Amino acid sequence: MDYNEKFKKLGVKIPNILLPKPGSDYSKYAVLACDQYAAQPEYWEKVKNYVGDSVSTLHMTLPEAWLLSGDRDYEKRSKNMEKYLSDGTLEEIGEGFIFTERDTPDGTRYGLIAAFDLEQYDYNPGSDKLIKVTEMTDITRVAPRVEIRKRAPLELPHVLMLIVDKEDFLMKMLRKETKNLPKIYDFDLMEGGGHLRGTKIENKELYQKTADILCELFIQNGGTFSFAMGDGNHSFATAKCYWEELKKNLSPKEQENHPARFCLAEIINLYDPAMPYECMNRLITGVSDPEKALSEMELDITALPSLQKLQPILDRWLESHPEAKIEYVHDADTCERLGKEPNSLAFCYREFDRDSVYEMIKNNSVFVRKSFAMGHPYEKRYYLEGRKIR
């Protein structure tokens, strides 16, 4: 079976990627995923001041910290996308994967940028699709994002897609085969994000080797899943919902290769030692009497139940207290600090077993939403590679 057939079987497509034209300042162009530092708007003010009027994904995305403060100008972001496409700021580099190497305080981690078939994914738990969900999806967070995607001519994803590769066959092979190939980018990420290098893969022999390894991993893992959602679950669910709506007006032939049928993401190994895993922490604000709230929840802040048991308790309490809001904070120390502010409560967890992710995938089950974080906030994926979806 040649690589095209194997990729199709696994739900993978070789993408045509957009990158800034040569000479662009990549350090100002690439910006951290917009769902980070939502409770710390000062981070995004620093980014805004650093970027200024330079070409940047900051002008095409909307940080949630600004969304929370009332910024709803999605139209401006879509117009900036259209401008960057029409004036040549963004250029298609031709079909190919991108092999990524990112240096962070936890080591160098490796990834592969590819497109994924949304027909092989379902965000509902228990699905028989090949791309598995790992956490519950909050559909209320998806609907407004679909409206944004409808206006957008391109996607700038921060999705991380997991493979289970304990022996690291895929990334070892890619490191060896791309060692002497030229880099298409090589730069420092802003605000302590580390250093990022990218190598384009457009060699048929390398395509075949990649497809062979992915198929072998598929077999080794029981033939029930090819990939699993890591980071960016709601972004991927948004792409799926948009596609389901769009395809109703397309013929079967038009559906086959429509760009919106696919979503760009970065493949990483669940067992990459340079990718730490942490429990996501909960911060509740707008709590008039924290001690009373804990009593109503029947919780002891020093002896919390598992996160899977905690979330339903918080959900029930929040339903009857609409004045309170919940935030999901990656760093336990940061969450703990924010929880000491007036009218706030922090629920912090400091350990997470990545094997539990594999067990969930294997059993076709899911965690509660926002159960785990991959990497510290500054290690999250930065927006860089884009792809047309119209």
Examine the pLDDT at 228 and tell me if it is beyond 90: yes
Domain count across the chain: 2
Return the pLDDT at 56: 98
The residue range of the domain holding 305 is 281-348
Examine the pLDDT at 260 and tell me if it is beyond 90: yes
Return the pLDDT at 335: 92
In angstroms, the CA 206 to CA 278 distance is: 34
Q: What is the DSSP string of 199-217?
A: EEE--HHHHHHHHHHHHHH
Please enumerate in sequence order all residues whose Cβ is within 8 A of that of 23, keeping only pairs 6 or more positions apart, or say none.
none
Find out whether 41 and 65 touch, Cβ atoms under 8 Å.
yes
Return the pLDDT at 365: 83
pTM summary value: 0.88
Examine the pLDDT at 168 and tell me if it is beyond 80: yes
Same-domain status, 310 and 236: no
The confidence band for 26, taking pLDDT boundaries of 50, 70 and 90, is very high
Same-domain status, 269 and 310: no
Q: Which two tokens stand for residue 167?
A: 């022996």
Same-domain status, 342 and 382: no
In a domain? residue 101: yes
Same-domain status, 286 and 143: no
Give the tens place of pLDDT for each residue, 187-208.
999 999 999 999 999 999 999 9
In a domain? residue 366: no
In a domain? residue 239: yes
In a domain? residue 363: no
Return the pLDDT at 129: 93
Q: What is the CA radius of gyration of the chain?
A: 21
Same-domain status, 93 and 214: yes
Return the pLDDT at 386: 97
In a domain? residue 364: no
Return the pLDDT at 33: 94
Same-domain status, 147 and 233: yes
Longest dimension (CA), the chain: 64
In a domain? residue 368: no
Same-domain status, 56 and 83: yes
| Residue for token pair 């079967």 | 252
Find out whether 40 and 139 touch, Cβ atoms under 8 Å.
no
Average pLDDT value for the chain: 93
Same-domain status, 297 and 259: no
Give the tens place of pLDDT for each residue, 274-324.
999 888 899 999 999 999 999 999 999 889 999 989 999 999 999 999 999
Find out whether 229 and 158 touch, Cβ atoms under 8 Å.
no
Same-domain status, 152 and 296: no
Same-domain status, 159 and 96: yes
Return the pLDDT at 242: 95
Give the tens place of pLDDT for each residue, 52-97.
999 999 999 989 888 767 777 888 999 999 999 999 999 999 999 9
Helix (H/G/I), strand (E/B), else coil: 86:
helix
In a domain? residue 75: yes
Return the pLDDT at 143: 81
Same-domain status, 269 and 285: no
267-303 burial string, b = 16+ CB within 10 Å, else e?
bbbbbbebbbbbbbbbbbbebeebeebbeebebeeee
